[in-house]
C-alpha cells in the first residue's frame, strides 16, 4: 500500500511538471510572437529635399549656398531664385513671395531657397511646401564684425570714415548715424536684421527672449560658423544626406593679409555694440551642442569630421592645381573669378588643366563663385530667359 501511494505521488508530480513546462512554452511562444509583431521595422531614412536656408551675411553662407545648389542639381530640384536673375531675394526689404522668379506659375512647388533675403515667415511659407526644413547659420559677433568691416567698408557710412575696426569700436556712435540705417545694416546686429527684426532695437530682456522664441519656432536648426565642419556633420545627419552632399571648398573667403587683428577690448565692446546678435549667438551656440548630443556622442562627431576633412582633401588633390585657394587676380579662368568687395581680397581656385567629362564638371561646381552659379541655375530652370551661364563642361 505504501509503495502504491509513493508511485501515485511521483506520477502526480511528473504530470504537474509536464503541465508547468507546457504552460511556460505556451507563454514564451505568444510573448515572442507579440514581440515580433510590435518590433518596429527600421528603414533607411530618406534625404530631406525641401529646404529653406536663411543665408546670413559673413557667416560662411556662400559655401552653404554652393552645397545646396549642388544638392539641388543632384536631385533635380527647383530652386527659388531671385526675380529677373537678381542677386538677392529683395534684400534688404522684408521678403515677399513675388521676389521669386516665376512664383505666380510655380506656386509652392519650390524645393530649395537659399539666396540672401530678410526673413518674413508668412511670405516664405507662400513659396515653400509645408514639410520644408528651415535652417540658418550664426557667427561670433566679434569675428563677424571684423569680416563685415573689411568687406563692406566702402559702402557702409559707419565704417567709411574710421581707420580700422578697432578705431570704429572705440567710439562706434561717432561714426554710426541712425538716419542712415538702411546703409548701416552691415555695421550693427546684422544677423538680427537678416532674421527679420530691428537691428537698432533697444536691448530689453523680455523682447530678446521673445525674439529667440520666435526664431526657434521658425527654424528647425541653427548652425554655427565657428564650428563649420561640426555643423556640416549635424546637417548631414539631420537631413539624412550623404557625406559628399556636405563636402565643400571654402567660397567667398578672403586673404589672411586683409584680416584685421582685433584687440581684446574690441572683442568685448562688440558684445555691447552688437548685443542683440550676441544674445542670439549665445543661445543658439548652446542649442547647437545640445542637438549634437541628442544625435551622437563627441567621439562619433569628430570621427565624422575626420571623414569629412579626409574627403575634402581627396577632392582638392583631384581637382585643384594648387593646394589652397589663391587671390582673385591669380585665378586663370576669368569665368571663375570671385567678386571683389571693399579692401577684402576674395580668394578663388584654379582647376587642374587635364580634367575632363564628369570629373571636370563636378570639380568646377565645387569652386564656381556664387554669382556665376546663380546665373547657371537661373538658365537651367528658365532656359527661355536668354541668359548665358557659365559652362560646367
> pLDDT-derived band of residue 12, with 50, 70 and 90 as boundaries?
low
Please indicate, yes or no, if residue 239 is contained in any of the structural domains.
yes
Q: Tell me the per-residue pLDDT of 271-288, one tens digit each, with 9 for 90 and over.
A: 999 999 999 999 999 999
Is 242's pLDDT higher than 70? Answer: yes
Residue 313 pLDDT: 97
Asked if residue 109 is part of any domain, the answer here is: yes
Q: Has residue 17 been placed in a domain?
A: no
What CATH number is associated with residue 270?
3.40.50
pLDDT at 19: 56
**Strands 51-54 and 112-113, bridge-based pairing:** parallel
CA distances from 240 to 180, 244, 298 (A): 44, 12, 19
* Greater model confidence, 29 or 351: 351
Instruction: Note the pLDDT of residue 116.
Output: 97
* Residue 34 located in a structural domain: no
Residue 392 is assigned to a structural domain of this protein: no
Residues 65-91 pLDDT 10s: 999 999 999 999 999 999 987 889 999
* In a domain? residue 12: no
Q: What is the per-residue pLDDT across 169-187, written as a single tens digit (0 to 9) for each? A: 999 999 999 988 778 999 9
What mean pLDDT is reported for the chain?
A: 90
**Distance (Å, rounded) from C-alpha 224 to C-alpha 285?**
7
Has residue 165 been placed in a domain? yes
What domain count does the chain have? 1
pLDDT per residue as tens digits for the range 319-332: 999 988 999 999 99
Its domain, for residue 95, covers 51-385
Say if 268 falls within a structural domain: yes
Amino acid at each position: 500500500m505504501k509503495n502504491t501511494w509513493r508511485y501515485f505521488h511521483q506520477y502526480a508530480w511528473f504530470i504537474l511538471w509536464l503541465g508547468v513546462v507546457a504552460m511556460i512554452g505556451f507563454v514564451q511562444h505568444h510573448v515572442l510572437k507579440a514581440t515580433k509583431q510590435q518590433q518596429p521595422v527600421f528603414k533607411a531614412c530618406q534625404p530631406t529635399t525641401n529646404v529653406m536656408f536663411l543665408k546670413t551675411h559673413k557667416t560662411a553662407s556662400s559655401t552653404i549656398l554652393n552645397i545646396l545648389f549642388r544638392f539641388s542639381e543632384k536631385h533635380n530640384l527647383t530652386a527659388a531664385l531671385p526675380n529677373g536673375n537678381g542677386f538677392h531675394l529683395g534684400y534688404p526689404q522684408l521678403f515677399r513671395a513675388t521676389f521669386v522668379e516665376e512664383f505666380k506659375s510655380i506656386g509652392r512647388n519650390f524645393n530649395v531657397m537659399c539666396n540672401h533675403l530678410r526673413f518674413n515667415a508668412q511670405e516664405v511659407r507662400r513659396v515653400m511646401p509645408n514639410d520644408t526644413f528651415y535652417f540658418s547659420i550664426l557667427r561670433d559677433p566679434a569675428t563677424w564684425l571684423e569680416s563685415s568691416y573689411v568687406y563692406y567698408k566702402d559702402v557702409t557710412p559707419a565704417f567709411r570714415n574710421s581707420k580700422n575696426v578697432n578705431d570704429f569700436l572705440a567710439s562706434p556712435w561717432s561714426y554710426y548715424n541712425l538716419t542712415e540705417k538702411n546703409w548701416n545694416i552691415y555695421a550693427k546686429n546684422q544677423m538680427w536684421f537678416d532674421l527679420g527684426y530691428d537691428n537698432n532695437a533697444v536691448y530689453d530682456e523680455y523682447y530678446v527672449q521673445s525674439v529667440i522664441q520666435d526664431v526657434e519656432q521658425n527654424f528647425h536648426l541653427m548652425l554655427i560658423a565657428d564650428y563649420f565642419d561640426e555643423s556640416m556633420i549635424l546637417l548631414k545627419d539631420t537631413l539624412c544626406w550623404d557625406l559628399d552632399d556636405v563636402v565643400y571648398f571654402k567660397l567667398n573667403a578672403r586673404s589672411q593679409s586683409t584680416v584685421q587683428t582685433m584687440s581684446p577690448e574690441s572683442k568685448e565692446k562688440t558684445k555691447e555694440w552688437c548685443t542683440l546678435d550676441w544674445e542670439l549667438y549665445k543661445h543658439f551656440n548652446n542649442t547647437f551642442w545640445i542637438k549634437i548630443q541628442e544625435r551622437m556622442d563627441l567621439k562619433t562627431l569628430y570621427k565624422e569630421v575626420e571623414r569629412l576633412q579626409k574627403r575634402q582633401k581627396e577632392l582638392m588633390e583631384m581637382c585643384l592645381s594648387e593646394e589652397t585657394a589663391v587671390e582673385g587676380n591669380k585665378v586663370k579662368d576669368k569665368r571663375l573669378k570671385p567678386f571683389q568687395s571693399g579692401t577684402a581680397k576674395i580668394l578663388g581656385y584654379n582647376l587642374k588643366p587635364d580634367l575632363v567629362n564628369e570629373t571636370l564638371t563636378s570639380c568646377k561646381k565645387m569652386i564656381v563663385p556664387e554669382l556665376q552659379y546663380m546665373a547657371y541655375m537661373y538658365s537651367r530652370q528658365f532656359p527661355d530667359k536668354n541668359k548665358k551661364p557659365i559652362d560646367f563642361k
